[in-house]
Amino acid sequence: MKRKVVLASRNADKVRELQQLFAELDLEVLSSADFPGLPEVIEDGTTTVENARRKAILTAAYTGHIAVADDTSLEIRELNGFPDIFAARFSGPQATYRSNVQLVLELMGDVPAASRQARFSTACVWVDPCPERQDHRAARPAISRWLRNPWARSIGIRDTAREWDFWNGLMDRRRVWDVYRRQMELDQVTWGHDRARLREVAEGLFLGCPDALRPGETLDKSAHQEGVRLPDTRLWAVDGPETSARPLTEVAPSGLPADAPGRETNGPFWFEMATEGKILGDITTEPVGALGFGYDPIFRPEGERRTLAEMPAAEKNAISHRGQAMRRLLTAVRETYGEG
C-alpha cells in the first residue's frame, strides 16, 4: 500500500508545481486542501527553513501522514533585502500576486538595471510522523534530525520568562526586527525609488507582529496572522529514537483539534529532512509572461532573457529555487527510504 504524503499548502499553483516534481516517487500525493479541518500555522520563524518546519510539523501532526512544506523568500538588494520572508504577504494581509508585484515595482521605480539584483530562496522540509525504521540519516546537502512527537504529552506551559522566550523563539525574532529598525533609523541602507513608502511598508510588517512591538506601540490586528503558533522547533529535537530514556516533551502546543486523525496514528519519534535552493536574477521594470505565479513575471534569472513567467513548467523547475530544493529533497528521500 502506498504511503501518503501531504503537501502543506492550499495554494493551487504551488501544489500543482510540487505534484509534478513528486510524480517520480511511489507515493500518493495529497495537499492541505484534502483536509478541511487542518488549521493554519503562524509563520513567525526568522528563516524560510523555520517557517517550512512549522508548516510540515503541524500538517504531519494533524493528518498522520508524511508532510512536505516549503517556504520562499525574495531578497531585493535595493530594498534592503525586502520582501525577504514576507514575500507572500508583502503588500498586506489580503495580499495577492498582483498586489505584491505592483508594490515591488512601485518601490523599485526607476532604479537602474545595474542595481536591480535579487535572489529567490526556497526551503523544503519533509516530516515523517511514523518512520518505519529507526536509523534514518540523510546525506548532505539535506539536513536531517529526529524529533519527539510534540503532542506526545500535553501538560501546558509553565509561565516563566525563560520558558516563554524559548517557546516563542522571541529573542531570535526580536533581533531580526531590531536590525531592520536600526537600519531604517540610521539610513545606512538602500531604499529603492521611494524611501518613505518602503519605510511605511516595513513599519506595517512590524505592527503586524507582536514580537516586534516596542513599548507604547499597538498591534495592528488586521495585519496579524491568525493560526496555531508553534515554538522554536529545537524544543523537540533529539539525537534519535535511542534517546527514549529522556523525558517526554514538557510542553505541547495548543490548537491541534481533538479529532485530528494523526493523534491516534503518529509515532513517538518523527524523522525530518530539510533542503534549500537559491537562484540569482534581477527585477524587471514591468511584468512579463503569463506562466508561473507569484513574483515570476518580474524575476529574470541570471543569464536569461526571459522571466520565470515566460518559461514552461518543466524548464522553470529545472533551474528554479523551488525546483532545486525539491530535487535535493527527492534525492534524499530515495537515498534514505529507497523510494522511486
What's the pLDDT tens digit per position in 12-63?
A: 877 887 777 777 777 888 889 999 999 988 888 889 999 999 999 999 999 9
pLDDT at 159 exceeding the cut of 50:
no
Q: How far apart are CA 109 and CA 103, in angstroms?
A: 10
82, 191 Cβ separation under 8 angstroms? no
How large is the greatest C-alpha to C-alpha distance in the chain, in angstroms? 62
The predicted model gives 71-96 an average pLDDT of 91
Distances (CA, A) of 96 to 11, 119, 158, 189: 12, 20, 40, 27
Give me the architecture of the 4-337 domain, per CATH.
Answer: Alpha-Beta Complex (3.90)
Domain residue ranges of the chain, discontinuous segments joined by +: 4-337
Q: What is the reported pTM?
A: 0.88
Lowest mean pLDDT: which of 48-57, 70-79, 226-235, 243-252?
243-252
Contact, 291 vs 311, CB < 8 A?
yes
Mean pLDDT of the chain: 84
Nearest to 252 by CA among 58, 8, 110, 98: 58
Least reliable range by pLDDT among 40-44, 85-89, 126-130, 284-288: 40-44
Query: Which residue in the list 44, 70, 71, 282 is annotated as catalytic?
Result: 71
Higher pLDDT, 213 or 101: 101
Candidate from 81-95, 176-190, 322-336 with smallest mean pLDDT? 176-190
Helices (H), the chain: 12-22, 48-63, 97-108, 161-168, 170-186, 195-207, 262-265, 313-319, 321-337
Contacts 24+ apart (CB under 8 A), 210-215: 211/44, 211/168, 211/170, 211/173, 211/174, 211/177, 212/173, 212/174, 212/177
- Name the more confident of 283 and 81: 283
200: Cα within 13 Å, side-chain hemisphere: 9
Q: Which three cell numbers stand for residue 147?
A: 524529533
More confident position, 158 or 86: 86
**228 or 270: which carries more pLDDT confidence?**
270
pLDDT of 46 reads 85
Q: Which residue has the higher pLDDT, 245 or 149?
A: 149
Give the per-residue pLDDT at 250: 56
pLDDT for residue 254 is more than 80: no
Could you give the CA distance from residue 236 to residue 243 in angstroms, rounded to a whole number?
Answer: 12
Per-residue pLDDT reduced to its tens digit, 282-315: 999 999 999 988 999 999 999 999 999 999 988 9
44 tagged catalytic:
no
Residue 71 is which amino acid? D
